A and B are shown apart, each in its own frame.
Chain A
Amino acid sequence: MTTIESYKTKSGVGVSAQRPDAVPKATGKFSFSSDLSSHNMLWGQTLRSPLPSARIKSIDFSEALAISGVHAILTANDVPGKNLFGLEHPDQPVLADDLIRYAGEPIALVAAEHPEIAANAINAIHVTFEELTPLTDAESAITADPIHPEGNVIRHLKIDHGDPSVTGDLVIEGTYEVGMQDQAFMGTESGMAVPSPDGSVDLYISTQWLHSDQNQIIEALDLPEDMVRLTLAGVGGAFGGREDVSMHVHLCMLALHTGRPVKMIYDRNESFLGHVHRHPAKIWYRHHATEDGQIVKVEGKIILDGGAYASTTSAALANACCFSTGPYRVPNAQIEGWGVRTNNPPCGAMRGFGNVQTCFAIEAQMDKVAKALGIDPVELRLINALEQGDTIITGQKITGAAPVKEVISSLADHPMPGPAENNLLARPGGTGRTTDQKHIKRGVGFAVSIKNLMFAEGFDDSSEALCQVEDGNVAIHTACVEVGQGFITLIHQIAEEVLGTSDITIIPADTSIGSAGSTSASRQTWMSGGAVLKACEAVVVKLIEQIFEDEGVKYENFNGTLVSEDGTKTIPVSEALKGRSFHEKIVHRHAPTFPLNNKGQGDAHVSFAFAAHRAVVDVDQELGLVRIIEIATSQDVGRILNPLQAVGQIEGGITQGLGLAVLEELVMKNGVIQNANFTDYLLPTALDTPPIEIAALIEEPEPGAPFGAKGIGEPPTISSTPAVVAAIRDATGIDLRRVPVRPEDIALE
């Protein structure tokens, strides 16, 4: 019989298949959520609070409503259902009705004929506030008077693992801080709501999770599920920032009130106010190690500032705590974490979700331990690296692939970059600064990370897919959101793999099919990829049954080619499908997870992925300027499904990590963001970003994962940040305890 390999296709899983949306995106024809338009359309805008903490005394919109071309002004009184929403649980008003809890909180909505009329109307709404003192310090918030009926502590989590009395030969203590990073996706929040005469509404929106949005919208609108239909509109990046509801309910309210389609586009300033950010963190650690470099105990306290509302603070805190000792074998740990409410902007999901904050601090601690013991930092990490079969501090045994040592060693073996080009552009600060070549010092930093894949702690995590064949034509439907990561490419590759054809139709993601869960937590390849795989396989099973009934010959499927039992006949699945119709819809789940108990112990996670990063920097210490020369990486990927897209995720994720290391921070003053624009919020440009070297992608297939593939989106963002900071420490000798590292942190030290 012919081997399976000979049926391997050139566009199935494992090859760099082309994105199906590449041509429309390259020609400007791809329709993003901000590109929607409709006959008779109105423009919506939002009035937001300039104050972080206040009581609304009165709202007078009579002058605004009198402006010609203004069709509606809505406030909290107009919310038809519950004036609350929230991703994990509803605790946030759709429109503020009494108290303002953060600067940027929505108060009123306008629909008008032209954006300029809408802006004039916003300016003509007069709100009288009683200003209150904002609570802006996360640590004080634990014991301060509550700013919300649910109290200030969103979650308090303790992990008590092993023997608390153990002490090390060496004890290293450190306190660290992480500033507020923003997802800063390019396409701002935008969408359009279209009302129907029967009182229902269609919402076209950029999001990460259509069904979570729908569940929150129907509660606020007091409408049944079938009266609020969501369809994905083109998404211009997400990175966690679209997991929460933003304008969704507002758009639907305006459309239902005016009876006309309403479009909204946040400008960049409003985008910064209108979505959650990465949690700022304060972290304290005490590491205990033996003289030969084994970490024997870690004590830690972690405070995440959740801002005014809960969003996903609870889950982010769980990640921060569960992985607070890094990808290392730590037999004893006492960790205590708090996710708290303050009058700062709400924080929630961003790529790396909770692991980013603690990884920065752990890796700094590891370097300090290595230095104190006189052990090479890479060697110290190898001594302590987790392996398959080891137990993490939540008592969970790692049953899947854990090639931590391979990731570390392959990266350490990768050649170092040479000296920087002798060109002003290549110096710290670039041409606009005055760095002198002789002041430049080079540094190298190394860091390793762990990330859990998919949702945790007992959440019923699922994705539904339909594979529909009509007269041989294949269509695949999921509610999985494409944010740019390339899931739609993967659908084609899976179809090719199973059905022998990538000539398929992808039915747009909407709420007419079951939930796919969120495009987050590095989960969609496993979850929706798994669902599409199973749905396609179910079609082939039915096909083989039908052929057997028709011809009495039993076939088996090898990568899209049917081979008869005796090996004498072959037929491509796509050929065999011609003239036939199937409708196979399945729900895919990963293995169940379980809640953490009161000691923070439990099998709360599905799978783990590991990555290592090595950064090389040039620093001008006098001016505090840093030039990142190169970032190299090795990553545990399970199996690569599309090499080009994998590289894209890795390079993009690392760039966000270096952004947090040296550039990106929402600067807060008394609860108000000081730099909510692209002039002052510094994103890495092509000149700030160095060449990224991939030393190795470790392919050790993950049991239980479709195709053995692990999610690869988040790990690049996690240890790249500490690697860069370690390199700056190496160049300067300064104990940098906060990210982003600012010029003054280097030059004024």
Chain B
Amino acid sequence: MPNDEQPHLNVNGKRLTIQKSWFGESLLFTLRERLGLYGSKNACEQGECGSCSIMLDETLVCACLVLTGSATGRDIKTIESLAPEGSLSTIQQAFIDTGAIQCGFCTPGLLITIKDFLDENTDPTELEIREAISGNLCRCTGYGRIVEAVRIASKTHDESQGAS
């Protein structure tokens, strides 16, 4: 049913008021269908695939598992804020250079996850990389190029960039 309250969200640095939302609406639905931020993806909508990974305050979450009403007043960073318009972060560039993108449906969620991971771990081993991205399913690549992209990005990653 419709929610008479109007949640306000801080999305990618902008304060936005959500009108005519529903009580049961997930943050993923609000981001995609109300705010037009389609970069967060909807592969499973039950927190298993990581395709809707975003930063909620400083925490990596699946937007499909967050109710919009409960995110009111909180800082949200999505794929759309990973790099300034017209530029690419080192992780995005590494994904492109290594062939880590095929259909691309898992890509935005992975990029958010990896950004969060590399902010904490600047010199990861292969197993640590694989564990870090094991909550993000990819059906096209078999992960080999993605692991390679993370390895390359870890050499040049700059924490100050983009969503965190």
Contacts and interface: CB of A to CB of B under 8 A. Distances in A.
A34 interface: yes
Nearest to A659: B139
Contacts of B97: 18
Contacts of A684: 142
Interface in A623-658: 644-645, 647-648, 651-656
A634 to B, nearest CB: 16
A345 B41 CA distance: 27
Contacts of B80: 27-28
Contacts of A22: 95-96, 101
Interface of B: 1, 22, 24-25, 29, 32-33, 36-46, 48-49, 51, 78-80, 82-83, 88, 92, 95-99, 101-108, 111, 126-127, 129-131, 133-147
A26 B49 contact: no
A484 interface: yes
A31 interface: yes
B5 to A, nearest CB: 17
Contacts of B39: 27-29
B82 to A, nearest CB: 7
Contacts of A25: 101, 104, 107
Nearest to A235: B103
A547 interface: no
Contact of B41 (A21, A186, A647): A186
A678 B46 contact: yes
A163 interface: no
B50 to A, nearest CB: 10
A655 B142 contact: yes
A648 B42 contact: no
Contacts of B137: 186, 678, 683, 685
Interface stretch (A142-150, A284-292, A601-609, A686-694): A686-694
Q: How large is the interface on A (under 10, 10 to 19, 20 to 34, 35 or more residues)?
A: 35 or more
Contact of B107 (A26, A35, A687): A26
Contact of A188 (B37, B43, B126, B134): B43
Nearest to A267: B45
Given A28-B108, A678-B48, A689 B103 contact: no
Interface string A649-682: 0011111100000000000000000000111000
Nearest to A26: B92
A687 B29 CA distance: 29
Contacts of A184: 139
Contact of A425 (B22, B40, B127): B127
B118 to A, nearest CB: 15
Interface in A1-55: 16, 18-19, 21-23, 25-32, 34-35, 37
B27 to A, nearest CB: 15
21 contacts: A18-B96, A22-B101, A23-B88, A25-B107, A26-B95, A26-B104, A27-B80, A31-B38, A32-B38, A32-B41, A116-B1, A187-B103, A187-B105, A235-B103, A484-B103, A645-B99, A647-B145, A648-B99, A651-B145, A679-B46, A686-B130
Contacts of B134: 685-687
A28 B38 CA distance: 7
Given A648-B102, A679-B46, A686-B136, 6 more contacts: A25-B104, A268-B45, A651-B143, A654-B142, A678-B43, A686-B146
Contact of A236 (B105, B131, B136): B105
Given A23-B96, A26-B92, A689-B142, A236 B43 contact: yes
Nearest to B83: A27
A435 B35 CA distance: 47
A186 B144 contact: no
Contact of A27 (B41, B82, B127): B82
User: Which of A28, A34, A116, A655 is packed against the most chain B CB atoms within 10 Å?
Assistant: A28
Contacts of B103: 185-187, 235-237, 483-484
A708 B126 CA distance: 36
A16 B99 CA distance: 9
User: Which of B24, B32, B39, B88 is packed against the most chain A CB atoms within 10 Å?
Assistant: B39
Contacts of B99: 16, 644-645, 647-648
B34 to A, nearest CB: 10
